[in-house]
Chains A and B, each alone.
Chain A
Amino acid sequence: MLEITNLHARVGDKPILKGINLSVGAGEVHAIMGPNGSGKSTLSSVLAGHGDYEVTDGSIIYQGQDLLDLEPEERARAGVFLSFQYPVEVPGVKNIYLLKSALNAKRAHMGLDEINPVEFLKLVREKLTLMKMDESFLHRNINQGFSGGEKKRNEILQMQLLEPTLALLDETDSGLDVDALRIVGDGINHLRAPERSFVMVTHYQRLLDHVKPDRVHVLADGQIKASGDFSLAMQLEKEGYEGLLQNA
């Protein structure tokens, strides 16, 4: 599904990713943990094609194609979805418009016609129910004035609708109350499928209690310093990064 080899990336002159190797198979859930500023969001941004980051070495192969050759929108249409750590507010653009255009862009890519409005509304309502969001969110400007938790839920709502092949979830659990965490966790589990993979960046084991990862990685100083199964997350919770990285 995703094969990252020796990935180096920088912002301006500042190297941030310093040789990442990561292999994610179809249907797998990988968790990435690591100290603040270690490069987790940078990795997600590079995968999504953010223009601020320059890839200086290495490769990213997604479903057999070189992801670095694709524009951000092409990656999205090919099934790469990023749930932003800080979802962006877009005043003047209604949420429902984003949902519809995004879905239609993906459908066009798959050679399908635009979805008909009735079918679209039915589909969106179904996803709203799943995320326990009310319909008023559709007619608000994208993320504008949403609470922190509402923004995260809105990200997962979009993911539900777009049904990506590779979902990158950057701290989607941060700032959620216990109920919201369960809703978001269920939202992710609902989408788990043999042909769909997840890379979840998180600081807390609590999300991993809801969504069981196949692999857990620790990213520090731009490199993956340790990998293991779920028990690595538990070990981290006990020892902290310092303890764990000293032993690594």
Chain B
Amino acid sequence: MSALQSLQGLAKNASAAATLADIGLPTPRLEGWKYLSLRTLENTEFAAPQARAAITALGEYDVPGFQAARLVWVNGQFQPKLSDSVDGVFVSESPTDWDRVPVNRDGFCAANAAAGNLIQFSIAPGLSLPLHCLFLSVAEDAPVAAQPRIQWKIAANAQVTLLEQHAGGAGNLVNSVQSFDLARDAGVTRYKLMSAKGDYNTAQTRADVDANARFENHVLDLGGKLHRDEIQVALNAEHAFTRLNGLSCVNGREVSDSHTRIEHRVPNTTSAQHYRGIADGRGKSVFNGVVVIEKDAQKSATEQKNANLLLSDKAEINPKPELQIHADDVTASHGSTVGNLDPAQLFYLRQRGIGLAEARALLTFAFAEQIAEALPSEALARAVEKRLATVLPAVEVIGDVIE
């Protein structure tokens, strides 16, 4: 059975299932999917998750120094028993679907809607708290389709730091859809830490940002079979702000495919993006960043930075910044580079006695560090640096750089 047929078979929502049957899974003929080969995924039959495995030792996923209430999903199913309950965080398992991510956006969105796992978290006004959302992917009898669907309702003035961690990895499909609704003066700082290497991971995130509210997202993708991350942010009222940062390191035949879209819909809105990719081996890294400044969105500002390091001639990097500016009084900057390590920096380090391999490792680490050291959470920054040391080429020789 193909992936598509198996996903249709899992559907609980008939109309979404009909849409899925109609549009099918994306193909490289679609502009937004052209660099992604889904061939092995398409030929995998995905079962419904049972999530019966006994889960223990959740503490091993903790990030040292990052103290937060824990919310746990196992193979896409929310686990109230494994999760902490927190004052001011309300969980609803049968909310009305906002449908901010249209069901027919693509086959994965349709499959997610069809699976019917919607859950909503509402954060009370003025609350300030960190949350650790752990998405565990565990092996079952056959590969399963884990399809969490989450709505985050962040009330006025609430400030949420959200660590979204993907761990485990067992050849499953983890296909998530999340919407964030940020009321006035609210703030979200989200870290998406990908460490489930063996999964197919597709994610669609949508954020609607009200006046003076802030949506910050940091994707930290340190390699995996297939990671697709798509984020859309709508800046809907004045002084709304978004920052989208990302780091991807791919090696072997890993794929990291990042797509962002920011819409400045009203005047005085601000966005900033900084994505960095490192591709080694036969890895593939894609960054497609669209910024739309609508006609009325005068005095808006956007900055987009994208830098890529190509470490092997078999690796592939496809950057595509796209600015669509329809207002005349705006500040916009963007830049995208693909290159190798800087020879002047290499020579400088070698002149100090540092060997070539170590100098290369050091500069590769330093390239990634530009994103890691800018993480607002010191604890996350340290954790990411430690992980970098395990995925970057030859970084073991510079182990103590991160101490």
Residues of A within 8 A of B (CB): 48-52, 71-73, 75-77, 81-82, 84, 87-88, 90-94, 97-98, 100-102, 105-106, 109, 141-142, 158, 162
- Which residues from A are CB-within-8-Å of B343? 51-52
Q: Are B352 and A92 in contact (CB under 8 A)?
A: no
Q: Are A90 and B349 in contact (CB under 8 A)?
A: yes
Q: Are B352 and A90 in contact (CB under 8 A)?
A: no
CA distance A106 to B400 in the complex (A): 17
- Which residues from B are CB-within-8-Å of A101? 352-354, 358, 362, 398
Chain B residue at minimal CB-CB distance from A104: B353
Q: Are A71 and B356 in contact (CB under 8 A)?
A: yes
Q: Are A76 and B350 in contact (CB under 8 A)?
A: yes
Interface residue ranges of B14-44 to A (CB < 8 Å): none
- Which residues from A are CB-within-8-Å of B358? 101
Interface residue ranges of B338-380 to A (CB < 8 Å): 343-345, 347-356, 358-359, 362-363, 365-370, 373
Q: Are A90 and B345 in contact (CB under 8 A)?
A: yes
Chain B: minimal CB distance from A141 (Å): 8
Q: Which of A71, A72, A81 is most buried by chain B, counting CB atoms within 10 A of its CB?
A: A72
Residue in contact with A92 in the complex, picked from B351, B355, B373, CB distance below 8 Å:
B373
User: Is B86 an interface position by the 8 A CB rule?
Assistant: no
- Which residues from A are CB-within-8-Å of B369? 92-93
Q: Are B353 and A90 in contact (CB under 8 A)?
A: no
Q: Are B355 and A73 in contact (CB under 8 A)?
A: yes
User: Is B401 an interface position by the 8 A CB rule?
Assistant: yes
Q: Which of A48, A77, A81, A98 is most buried by chain B, counting CB atoms within 10 A of its CB?
A: A98
Residue in contact with A48 in the complex, picked from B351, B362, B363, B367, CB distance below 8 Å:
B351
Q: How many residues of B contact A (CB 8 A)?
A: 27
CA distance A176 to B55 in the complex (A): 64
- Which residues from A are CB-within-8-Å of B370? 91-92
CA distance A48 to B348 in the complex (A): 10
- Which residues from B are CB-within-8-Å of A94? 401
Q: Are B367 and A92 in contact (CB under 8 A)?
A: yes
CA distance A141 to B365 in the complex (A): 13
- What are 10 A-B pairs at a CB distance below 8 A? A49-B350, A50-B347, A75-B351, A88-B344, A92-B373, A93-B366, A101-B398, A102-B354, A106-B353, A142-B348
Q: Are A72 and B366 in contact (CB under 8 A)?
A: no
- Which residues from A are CB-within-8-Å of B354? 73, 98, 101-102, 105
- Which residues from B are CB-within-8-Å of A102? 352-354
Chain B: minimal CB distance from A18 (Å): 24
Residue in contact with B353 in the complex, picked from A50, A87, A109, CB distance below 8 Å:
A109
Q: Which of B355, B358, B368 is most buried by chain A, counting CB atoms within 10 A of its CB?
A: B355
CA distance A102 to B354 in the complex (A): 6
- Which residues from A are CB-within-8-Å of B401? 93-94, 97
CA distance A49 to B347 in the complex (A): 9
- Which residues from B are CB-within-8-Å of A98? 349, 352, 354
CA distance A51 to B345 in the complex (A): 12
CA distance A81 to B351 in the complex (A): 7
Residue in contact with B363 in the complex, picked from A84, A90, A97, A106, CB distance below 8 Å:
A90
Interface residue ranges of B306-355 to A (CB < 8 Å): 343-345, 347-355
- Which residues from A are CB-within-8-Å of B365? 92-93
Chain B residue at minimal CB-CB distance from A142: B348
Chain B: minimal CB distance from A26 (Å): 21
Q: Are B366 and A91 in contact (CB under 8 A)?
A: yes
Q: Are A76 and B352 in contact (CB under 8 A)?
A: yes
Q: Are B348 and A87 in contact (CB under 8 A)?
A: yes
Chain B residue at minimal CB-CB distance from A101: B354
CA distance A109 to B359 in the complex (A): 17
Q: Are A162 and B373 in contact (CB under 8 A)?
A: no
- Which residues from A are CB-within-8-Å of B353? 73, 76-77, 101-102, 105-106, 109, 162
- Which residues from B are CB-within-8-Å of A162? 352-353
18 extra interchain contacts, Cβ-Cβ under 8 A, other than A92-B366, A93-B349, A162-B353?
A51-B347, A72-B347, A76-B350, A76-B351, A76-B353, A88-B348, A90-B366, A92-B365, A92-B367, A92-B369, A93-B362, A93-B363, A93-B365, A94-B401, A97-B362, A102-B354, A105-B352, A162-B352
